[in-house]
Amino acid sequence: MAAAAAAASVDETSKTVCVMDASGSLGSTLVHSLLLRGYTVHAALQNHGTLQAFEGLSCYSNKLRIFHSDPFDYHSIMDALKGCCGLFYSFEPPPDQPNYDEFMADVEVRAAHNVLEACAQTDTIAKVVFTASVTAVIWSDGRNKTASNLDERNWSDINVCKKFKLWHALSKTLSEKTAWALAMDRGINMVTINGGLLLSPDVTLANPYLEGAAEMYEDGVFVTVDLKFITNAHICAFEDIASYGRYLCFNHVINCNEDSINLCNMLSPLSKYSPQRFVFKDFD
């Protein structure tokens, strides 16, 4: 009820939204795009985030507020959300745990829980756009799914993720399920954007999304998404009052050797290492 009331009271010309974490490629691009659309933005940086991405934005000084928040510090989350009608949330691993392992799922789940609980306690929040992943959709027992019969109703199998040590998929699946459980329990209007491999300027072969890349390729579900495309998808999902549920977001499928070679060159153009992670068979 609080979310509905907040939605009705939002002035289209003076909306304030929060972007958390704003220090990553997606977060900082969202901040820029939202400012260009006339939003007032609370850019919430995790403790390891820097202000470098916001240099040159002095012309938006009256519409951009910087917050240093910690997804494990409830009060810092509440401070960043104060006065906002919406939240764009994405998780960035803490600096002391840059790689996904079997323990990262607990970290990401706790962060998602804290953020959604803070949204439930913030009366002005009308909508949450939660950045999720295609890896929370594609991993099932038997791997009998293809891109053509996968949709937002599919969830990755937790046991499969654990068995094959797909820690990124495990973390994304559990954190998204946690967010949905809390959103439904607390009446939070939430949409998730389940993106493919984000082709941001800083993407490398070490990206944890690439766990199981060869299997994704074989099954036809190795998908990527451009930074501009997924940024626009987030904003469209927020602005469309009819949006709900989960949205798979990608604009390219890696489904032939030429695609895989081009991707390898993009991920490691100066690397001395051979991209053995992408030794694919051509199934065409």
Map tokens 């917050």 to a residue.
67
- Cα torsion 199, 193, 209, 140: sign: negative
Q: Does residue 143 fall inside a structural domain?
A: yes
**Average pLDDT over every residue of 94-99:** 64
Phi-psi region at 143: left, alpha or beta (left = phi > 0; alpha = psi -120 to 50): left
Q: Does residue 194 fall inside a structural domain?
A: yes
Per-residue pLDDT tens over the stretch 74-92: 999 999 999 999 999 999 8
Q: pTM value?
A: 0.87
Q: Which domain holds residue 217?
A: 2-278
pLDDT confidence of residue 175? 98
Domain at 102, CATH number = 3.40.50.720
Q: Does residue 283 fall inside a structural domain?
A: no
Q: What are the tokens at 131? A: 């950045």
pLDDT for residue 73 is more than 80: yes
Which range has the worst mean pLDDT, 83-87, 138-142, 198-202, 272-276? 272-276
Q: Looking at the 3D structure of the chain, how many domains does it have?
A: 1
Spatial neighbors of 226 by CB under 8 A, at least 6 apart, are 199, 251, 252
Spatial neighbors of 61 by CB under 8 A, at least 6 apart, are none
Q: Which helix (H) or strand (E) holds 8?
A: helix 2-9
Residue that wins the pLDDT comparison between 88 and 145: 88
Per-residue pLDDT tens over the stretch 31-71: 999 999 999 999 999 865 566 666 666 556 789 999 998 88
Residue that wins the pLDDT comparison between 193 and 140: 193
